[in-house]
Structure 1
Amino acid sequence: MAKDNRNELNVNEKIGENLRLLRQVVGLSQRDLADILGVSYQQVCSAARGLRISVTWFENFLPC
Protein backbone atom coordinates (compact mmCIF):
# COMPACT_ATOMS: atom_id res chain seq x y z
CA MET A 1 0.00 0.00 0.00
CA ALA A 2 2.90 2.38 0.62
CA LYS A 3 3.77 2.21 -3.04
CA ASP A 4 0.29 3.41 -3.98
CA ASN A 5 0.61 6.34 -1.59
CA ARG A 6 3.97 7.25 -3.09
CA ASN A 7 2.50 7.19 -6.62
CA GLU A 8 -0.36 9.40 -5.48
CA LEU A 9 2.11 11.83 -3.94
CA ASN A 10 4.15 11.92 -7.14
CA VAL A 11 1.03 12.67 -9.17
CA ASN A 12 0.02 15.44 -6.78
CA GLU A 13 3.52 16.90 -6.86
CA LYS A 14 3.56 16.85 -10.67
CA ILE A 15 0.13 18.48 -10.89
CA GLY A 16 1.25 21.10 -8.38
CA GLU A 17 4.42 21.79 -10.34
CA ASN A 18 2.49 22.14 -13.61
CA LEU A 19 -0.15 24.30 -11.96
CA ARG A 20 2.52 26.63 -10.61
CA LEU A 21 4.37 26.82 -13.94
CA LEU A 22 1.22 27.49 -15.96
CA ARG A 23 0.07 30.11 -13.46
CA GLN A 24 3.40 31.89 -13.73
CA VAL A 25 3.43 31.72 -17.55
CA VAL A 26 0.07 33.47 -17.79
CA GLY A 27 0.99 35.93 -15.06
CA LEU A 28 -1.56 34.96 -12.40
CA SER A 29 -1.00 35.20 -8.69
CA GLN A 30 -2.16 32.36 -6.49
CA ARG A 31 -5.03 34.58 -5.32
CA ASP A 32 -6.05 35.30 -8.92
CA LEU A 33 -6.07 31.60 -9.73
CA ALA A 34 -8.08 30.85 -6.60
CA ASP A 35 -10.69 33.41 -7.67
CA ILE A 36 -10.89 31.93 -11.17
CA LEU A 37 -11.26 28.38 -9.85
CA GLY A 38 -13.65 29.40 -7.10
CA VAL A 39 -11.47 27.95 -4.34
CA SER A 40 -9.56 29.44 -1.44
CA TYR A 41 -6.05 30.82 -1.67
CA GLN A 42 -4.96 28.15 0.83
CA GLN A 43 -6.21 25.40 -1.48
CA VAL A 44 -4.14 26.79 -4.35
CA CYS A 45 -1.09 26.98 -2.06
CA SER A 46 -1.57 23.37 -0.97
CA ALA A 47 -1.99 22.21 -4.55
CA ALA A 48 1.11 24.08 -5.71
CA ARG A 49 3.11 22.25 -3.06
CA GLY A 50 1.63 18.92 -4.15
CA LEU A 51 -0.14 18.38 -0.85
CA ARG A 52 -3.79 18.31 -1.87
CA ILE A 53 -5.39 18.38 -5.28
CA SER A 54 -9.16 18.59 -5.42
CA VAL A 55 -10.73 16.99 -8.47
CA THR A 56 -13.75 19.25 -8.05
CA TRP A 57 -11.61 22.22 -9.15
CA PHE A 58 -11.45 20.82 -12.63
CA GLU A 59 -15.12 19.89 -13.03
CA ASN A 60 -15.98 23.26 -14.55
CA PHE A 61 -13.22 22.93 -17.14
CA LEU A 62 -13.81 19.37 -18.30
CA PRO A 63 -16.25 18.59 -21.11
CA CYS A 64 -19.24 16.51 -20.06
Structure 2
Amino acid sequence: MRFRKALNERYVEGIRFVDYENYKPRTPEANVYELDERFEEGTLELLSRIELEDIQVTPGNYN
Protein backbone atom coordinates (compact mmCIF):
# COMPACT_ATOMS: atom_id res chain seq x y z
CA MET A 1 0.00 0.00 0.00
CA ARG A 2 1.39 3.41 -0.97
CA PHE A 3 0.59 7.09 -0.53
CA ARG A 4 1.72 9.50 -3.22
CA LYS A 5 2.24 13.24 -2.74
CA ALA A 6 2.21 15.36 -5.91
CA LEU A 7 4.69 18.25 -6.11
CA ASN A 8 5.83 20.86 -8.59
CA GLU A 9 2.92 20.73 -11.04
CA ARG A 10 3.77 22.42 -14.33
CA TYR A 11 2.61 22.48 -17.92
CA VAL A 12 4.92 22.19 -20.90
CA GLU A 13 3.32 22.73 -24.30
CA GLY A 14 -0.09 22.15 -22.70
CA ILE A 15 0.85 18.80 -21.11
CA ARG A 16 0.74 18.44 -17.32
CA PHE A 17 3.85 17.12 -15.55
CA VAL A 18 4.15 16.48 -11.81
CA ASP A 19 6.90 15.26 -9.48
CA TYR A 20 5.97 12.77 -6.75
CA GLU A 21 7.05 11.52 -3.35
CA ASN A 22 6.04 7.92 -2.58
CA TYR A 23 5.35 6.87 1.01
CA LYS A 24 4.40 3.65 2.79
CA PRO A 25 3.11 2.91 6.29
CA ARG A 26 5.72 1.89 8.85
CA THR A 27 3.46 -0.84 10.21
CA PRO A 28 1.72 -3.58 8.20
CA GLU A 29 -1.60 -3.22 10.05
CA ALA A 30 -2.29 0.24 8.56
CA ASN A 31 -5.31 0.51 6.30
CA VAL A 32 -5.98 2.71 3.30
CA TYR A 33 -8.48 4.86 5.21
CA GLU A 34 -5.72 5.99 7.60
CA LEU A 35 -3.05 6.94 5.07
CA ASP A 36 -3.94 10.63 4.79
CA GLU A 37 -4.02 11.00 8.57
CA ARG A 38 -0.71 9.18 8.96
CA PHE A 39 0.82 11.41 6.27
CA GLU A 40 -0.32 14.53 8.13
CA GLU A 41 1.16 13.12 11.36
CA GLY A 42 4.47 12.45 9.61
CA THR A 43 4.39 8.73 10.40
CA LEU A 44 4.74 7.40 6.84
CA GLU A 45 8.13 6.33 5.49
CA LEU A 46 9.42 8.09 2.36
CA LEU A 47 10.26 5.40 -0.21
CA SER A 48 11.22 7.36 -3.30
CA ARG A 49 11.04 10.61 -5.21
CA ILE A 50 10.14 10.99 -8.86
CA GLU A 51 11.57 14.27 -10.14
CA LEU A 52 11.20 15.11 -13.81
CA GLU A 53 13.95 17.30 -15.22
CA ASP A 54 14.65 18.96 -18.55
CA ILE A 55 11.21 18.16 -19.98
CA GLN A 56 10.98 18.61 -23.74
CA VAL A 57 7.83 18.10 -25.77
CA THR A 58 8.16 17.57 -29.50
CA PRO A 59 4.97 18.31 -31.47
CA GLY A 60 3.60 15.20 -33.16
CA ASN A 61 5.35 12.92 -30.69
CA TYR A 62 2.34 12.38 -28.41
CA ASN A 63 -1.41 11.74 -28.65
Normalising by structure 2, we get a TM-score of 0.22
Point out which structure has higher relative CO (alpha carbons under 8 A, 6+ apart): 1
Q: Which has the larger radius of gyration?
A: 2
Structure holding more strand per residue: 2
Q: TM-score scaled by structure 1?
A: 0.22
Higher helix share: 1
